[in-house]
Amino acid sequence: MAIAQRLVSVFLVVVALAVAINWLASPIIDNSSGDYNIWGVLNWFMAAATAIVLAVNVMRKVKLPSNGSITREYLEVNVSFYASLLLALWYYWNWFNALFPENEPGVVGTIHLAYWGLIDPLLVLVVGATGFHVWRHARTGSK
């Protein structure tokens, strides 16, 4: 089980790093045109990472003891859960609009491009932090 958790955590951190590097390099290089669209490929890995992060943080929230006190663990779990939920809602909504651009022609389709400027940094933070959490959990065996 620890090996599977480590593989998942490495996948999450690599996706977060790839998104961060590509997002920062996007103003410098045009990687959305031509024969090889980096974002088109990366989006599939981002979709998988978003689903994994949401599943991990739902499990963390379910396992959280409900003793009524606000502790550091309570805040970490809840912030991670709601951030991953927000990420999943924004990401899949925007990604499906990008996959089927004929449904959102003209200005509305262009507006969806602006959301990536919010989604990509949020994905880097949430996916990267969850990846590190899963790595620590695999090492220590704690929740």
State the pLDDT confidence band at 125, using cuts at 50, 70 and 90: very high
Q: What is the pLDDT of residue 110?
A: 64
Predicted confidence (pLDDT) per residue in 89-117, tens digit: 999 998 888 887 676 666 655 667 778 88
| pLDDT computed for residue 114 by the predictor | 78
Give the integer Cα–Cα distance in Å for 86 and 32. Answer: 25
Give the HSE-up count for residue 60: Cα atoms under 13 Å, Cβ half-sphere. 24
Provide the token pair at 86. Answer: 């927000």
pLDDT recorded at residue 37: 79
Q: What is the pLDDT of residue 17?
A: 97
**Chain segment 13-70, per-residue pLDDT in tens:** 999 999 999 999 888 876 655 556 788 889 999 999 999 999 999 999 999 888 778 8
pTM of the predicted protein model: 0.86
In the structure, what pLDDT confidence band is assigned to residue 122 with cuts at 50, 70 and 90?
A: very high
- Residue whose token pair is 């490929």: 41
- Report the alpha-carbon distance of residue 96 to residue 99 in Å, rounded: 5
Return mean pLDDT, the chain: 87
Radius of gyration (C-alpha) of the chain in whole angstroms: 17
Residue 86 pLDDT exceeds 90: yes
pLDDT at site 26: 81
pLDDT of residue 100: 77
